[in-house]
Amino acid sequence: MTRAQPPLITREDLRLALTAGLSAGLGITLGLPDPVYGPLAVAAVLGGTVGASRTLGIQRMLGTLMGGVILLVLYPTLSPILPMPIGVAIALVCTRLFGGALGLHSGYKVAGLVVSIGWTAHSGEITTWVPIRLLLTLLGVLMAWAAIRLFWPSRAIDRRQQLSVQLYREFAHSLREQAALLRQGDGVRGAGGLERRNHLLTLILEHQNQRSDAMKELGNDHLGERLARLWDRQEQLWSELIACYRTLLRLPPLPRRHGSLAHLIEVEAALLEAAADRLETWAGCWPSSPPRHRITAQDEGDSLATAGRNLEAAEMGLFEDAEATALLLGGSGGRRAVACSQVLLALQGFEVAWRATP
């Protein structure tokens, strides 16, 4: 099978050309010198997603501002006493140091360009050239932000993110339902368990099918790479959660005639509810970073980690009751506790990986 050739001109190319042309025309209409800096800002900022363009625009504005300040401060100070190459080198070192201190990933490169061009080509008009450069950069950034939202906006990424939020909430509802069924006692089964499982599988498949279109809209920048890595971890999370949920659906309820077993059932239900709460929290902050206080599994304020420790303690307490231990180890008695532990490990592993993805 021959691979389809990509189109010669894409919608993104047309959007870039149109926006760059409009920014150049606006600069010329306003009578600003060097209007080329507007299209240059558009080309640098117009990424594959709204978030990427926003971040790149902020980086470019901060870098231009920092380069202008360094140029205005160092040029009058160093140019009379040092040769130009040494003065420019010192200024470039300052841009790298201050850029790193401010957390700029690409902005310090823009600052270096402002320093180099201003020091060498506009040394006689620095006080007027720097504000004009800032204004043209701002116009280019604003036009790029408007273009990414108005001209063929990124719909596949938005749809995939909406599906992610929906899956978090659907799994949270399913786990909460299982916790309620556990507390209801013997013989109570989920009437719509199979339908809910099929619904979850349908959403997961749709989520996976959306990835190919969403990947086309991702830029080759830091944000695009971050989303791609998060999607890998997220798909692994869906696989682990659906496997645990299918196991929970198949398991029969345990008898409650032993106090230790009743306590174990209550602890398992509490863990499932804590897992549901965590998924609901993620639905509200995806794909930005999760709440910082919920990352460390040993944190005493982490309800999910606390539920996991309670489950371990309840399992250890069963060994003091020989009959309860026999019921738990016989047949599928202990598989529910294992499934709950797997839910805990899946959520904690995903959260740590999410936090570690810069």
pLDDT tens for the chain, residues 1 to 358? 344 566 777 777 888 888 999 999 998 998 888 888 899 999 888 866 666 777 788 889 999 999 999 999 998 899 888 898 999 999 999 998 888 888 777 777 888 899 999 988 888 888 899 999 999 999 999 999 888 888 777 677 788 888 999 999 999 999 998 888 888 764 445 556 778 888 899 999 988 888 877 776 676 667 778 888 889 999 999 999 999 898 888 877 666 656 667 777 788 888 999 999 999 989 888 887 776 644 444 444 578 888 878 877 776 766 666 656 666 666 555 677 788 889 999 998 999 888 888 7
DSSP string for residues in 116-146: HHHHHHSGGGHHHHHHHHHHHHHHHHHHHHH
Q: Give dist(CA 66, CA 42) in Å, integer.
A: 19
Q: What is the DSSP letter of 296?
A: -
Within 151-258, residue ranges assigned H as helices are 155-184, 193-217, 222-250
Is the pTM here over 0.75, yes or no?
Answer: no
Which positions ≥6 away from 77 have C-beta within 8 Å? Answer: none
Question: How far apart are the C-alpha atoms of 136 and 154, rounded to whole Å?
Answer: 26
